[in-house]
Amino acid sequence: MLIVDWSGALLRDTLVAIGLSTMALCARHYHRRPDHALTPGGAFEADRCGPVEGVAAGAGIVMSRRLLMVAVALLAGCASPPPDERLHSTLWVQTSAEYAISTRQVFGMATRGLDGALADPGWTALEGGRTGAELRPAIIVDVDETVLDNSGHQGRMIRAREGFTRDSWRKWVSEAAAPAVPGAADYLHAAADRGITVFYVTNRHHVLEDDTRRNLLAAGFPVASEEDVVLTREETEEWTRDKSSRREFIGQHHRVLQVVGDDLADFVPLPKGADDEQRLYLATVNAQRWGTYWFMIPNPMYGSWEQALMPGGVALFGRPMEDKFRHLDTQ
């Protein structure tokens, strides 16, 4: 039994040979009779050959055309990678006017709410948070996809056909070049100009704090130097992925006016293994806070919403399509 490896150069050369043979056959029959013609689209009219010759030529050309179509299709398949599910959401973030409008709209709403929140000593965005005019005012913002746009890192993963890896992420962070999410800088400066301290609460690991701080400054954000305002994961033993302890830490000495994030976990603690229905419940019971105390930035690229759909709390990328179709509503 002959086994042929159809990969790489052999497949390419074989398909090219089919294409050349096809063109040669077409050319041979075309030049055989002076009355052969081309259709307006450039295809040979084989039925203009002689009675017998035309049948043979026509059959040969039709077969060759089919081989050529197969060759072109196979070559196209070799040249193009399979589609990546993350591509459309990443392109929407990077290129659409709608994304920029959405983020500017959210930050604009938050900015317009600062003066009223600042003037009310009983105002707090934290459940059970401290109030009082003696407390310094503050806002809490997440970093990734809230004020810094990391869609470039998403693009690199898509190009490389890879999922998230610690090495690729740390390389991206070390470059400190992520641009600002549209509207973020104006909002943060509006807060700082009013004497409101901006706290950046991120689940980036603490070893990335210096690079993160450099990126925040490079993006033009206000970063206070008189106290630590970049609170990273595992910076202390209590500061886990759950941001509750860091929000509580800030609330001990500040009156928190607003919280801005791109994930439900930026606002409330999520039970381990919470599914989509539990997440929706948490969003609904806090309905009065959205757009007043809490502001959500759209992020279609990734988030805890993915993990709520998949067993074991994993990302959607690379999972079987049937696992995802189970959650698709067609009504």
pLDDT category of residue 323 using cuts at 50, 70 and 90:
confident
| Strand 254-261 to 294-296 pairing | parallel
- CB neighbourhood size of 158 (10 A): 18
What span, in angstroms and rounded, lies between the C-alpha atoms of 126 and 259?
8
What is the side-by-side order of every strand in the sheet holding 254-261? 230-233, 197-205, 136-141, 254-261, 294-296
Q: What is the torsional sign of CA 282, 284, 288, 291?
A: positive
From residue 277, how far is each of 96, 101, 145, 274, 283 by CA, in Å?
30, 29, 24, 8, 10
More confident residue, 108 or 306: 108
Triad 297, 301, 307: Cα angle to 5°? 100
- Where in the chain are the domains? 8-79, 87-325
CATH superfamily of 87-325: HAD superfamily/HAD-like (3.40.50.1000)
- What is the per-residue burial (b if ≥16 Cβ within 10 Å, else e) of 76-111? eeeeeeeeeebeebbeebeeeeebeeebbebbeebb
**Mean pLDDT, rounded, for 70-84:** 55
Q: So what's the pLDDT on residue 13?
A: 53
Asked if 171 and 211 touch (Cβ cutoff 8 Å), the reply is no
What phi-psi label fits residue 145: left (phi over 0), alpha (psi between -120 and 50 degrees) or beta?
left
Q: Mind listing the pLDDT tens digit for each residue in 203-260? A: 999 999 999 999 999 999 999 999 999 999 999 999 999 999 999 999 999 999 999 9
Residue type, 18: I
pTM attached to this predicted model: 0.76
Report pLDDT for 239.
Answer: 96
Q: Which amino acid is at 92?
A: W
Is the per-residue pLDDT at 130 higher than 60? Answer: yes
